[in-house]
Amino acid sequence: MTEHVLDASEIHRGWDRERTARLTIDPGDTVHVEVRQVVDGFLTRDATAEDVEFERFQGHPLTGPIDIRDAEPGDVLEIHIESITVDDWGVTLILPGAGLLPDDFDRIALNIWEFDTDVAQFRPGIEIPVEPFCGVMGCAPAEFGHLSSAPPRRVGGNLDCQQLTAGATLWLPVEVPGARFSLGDAHAAQGDGEVCVTAIETGLRDITVRFDLHKDRPLSAPEFRHGVHAPVWDTTDWFATTGVEDDLLTAARAAVRRMIDHLVAERGLSREDAYILCSVAVDLRINEIVNAGRYVVSANLPEAIFVG
**Alpha-carbon span 129 to 118, nearest angstrom:** 6
Centroid of chain to Cα 139: 16
Q: What CATH number is given to the structural domain containing 267?
A: 3.10.28.20
For residues 234 and 285, give the distance between their C-alpha atoms in angstroms, rounded to a whole number.
17
CB-based contact 154:79 (threshold 8 Å): no
Q: Is 173 helix (H, G, I), strand (E, B) or coil?
A: strand
Taking each helix axis as running N to C, give the angle between helix 248-267 and helix 271-281, from 0 to 180 degrees, rounded to the nearest 10.
Answer: 120
Do both 268 and 172 map to the same domain?
A: no
- CATH code of the domain containing 24: 2.60.120.580
Q: Does residue 221 sit in the same domain as residue 235?
A: no
Same domain membership, residue 240 and residue 221: no
What are residue 13's phi and psi, to 5 degrees? -125, 110
DSSP classification of residue 22: S
Which of 225, 248, 263 represents a domain boundary (last residue)? 225
Distance, first Cα to last Cα, the chain: 48
Indicate whether 83 and 165 sit together in one domain.
yes
The residue range of the domain holding 236 is 231-305
209 and 290 both lie in a single domain: no
CB atoms within 10 A of CB 155: 23
Q: Which three-class secondary structure string do you get for 185-227?
A: EEECCCCCCCCCCCCCECCEEEEEEEEEEECCCCCCCCEEECC
Could you read off the pLDDT tens digit of each residue along the chain, which spans 308 residues? Answer: 899 999 999 999 999 999 999 999 999 999 999 999 998 877 888 888 888 876 666 789 999 999 999 999 999 999 999 999 999 999 999 999 999 999 999 999 999 999 876 899 999 999 999 999 999 999 999 999 999 999 999 999 999 999 999 999 999 999 999 999 999 999 999 999 999 999 999 999 999 999 999 997 889 999 999 976 655 556 679 999 999 999 999 999 999 999 999 999 999 999 999 999 999 999 999 999 998 889 999 999 999 999 87
